[in-house]
């Protein structure tokens, strides 16, 4: 039994939810998100709540129950308030800038790295702090994770990207005799 799947998902006043032929659409003041769900989970929309129950007692339906509950909860939360991820870039000569829909990063490589920003994600760069905002939690987190993967923080000086609040375990360098 899924503890997360059993919870009732509350719908806000300004939020509109529709479930048509396996496709769930959540519309709110900050945007609209549509996702397709498998029929292993029954999604029932009430007045101001959403309940999920497994359609049958299979391993797959039990596995998807809590996952779908989390996805729907994130969809409802995202259309009412935006998700924010922050990355901090440390290192001498490392910098980034946004020009139109392209993020250009200078990370010590022989060439600048250019990344196209999706239309529903807003990127703000100021003094080495990269802020990603958007209504879809998966896209915002994936964008932050893919940029962090370009230059992970190294353990000796801490240079590279790290999340705001992330603790980097530092190693001691060579000792001189």
Is a pLDDT exceeding 70 seen at residue 155? Answer: yes
For the beta sheet containing 41-45, the strands, ordered from the edge strand earlier in sequence to the opposite edge, are: 9-10, 49-54, 41-45
Give residue-wise pLDDT tens across range 87-137.
999 999 999 999 999 999 999 999 999 999 999 999 999 999 999 999 999
Per-residue pLDDT, 9: 92
The set of residues, in sequence order, having a beta carbon less than 8 Å from that of 161 and lying 6+ positions away, is 87, 88, 89, 130, 147, 148, 150, 151, 152, 153
Give residue-wise pLDDT tens across range 34-64.
999 998 899 999 889 999 999 888 888 888 9
Per-residue pLDDT, 12: 85
% of residues, the chain, pLDDT over 70: 99
SS3 (DSSP) at 135: coil
Q: What is the pTM of this model?
A: 0.86
Domains of the chain: 3-78 (3.90.930.12), 83-163 (3.90.930.12)
pLDDT band at residue 1 under the 50/70/90 scheme: low
């Amino acid at each position: 039994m899924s503890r997360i799947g059993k919870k009732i998902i509350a719908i806000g006043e300004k939020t509109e939810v529709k479930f048509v032929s396996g496709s769930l659409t959540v519309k709110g003041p900050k945007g609209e998100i549509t996702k397709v769900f498998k029929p292993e989970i029954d999604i029932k929309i009430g007045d101001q709540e959403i309940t999920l129950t497994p359609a049958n007692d299979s391993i797959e339906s039990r596995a998807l129950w809590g996952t779908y509950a989390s996805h729907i909860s994130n969809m409802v939360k995202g259309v009412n308030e935006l998700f924010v991820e922050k990355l901090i870039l440390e290192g001498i000569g490392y910098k980034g800038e946004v020009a139109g829909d392209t993020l250009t990063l200078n990370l010590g490589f022989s060439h600048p790295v250019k990344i196209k920003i999706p239309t529903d994600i807003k990127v703000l760069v100021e003094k080495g702090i990269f802020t990603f905002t958007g209504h879809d939690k998966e896209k915002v987190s994936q964008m932050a994770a893919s940029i962090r993967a370009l230059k992970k923080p190294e353990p000796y000086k801490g240079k590279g990207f790290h999340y705001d609040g992330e603790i980097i375990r530092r190693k001691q360098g060579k000792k001189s005799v």
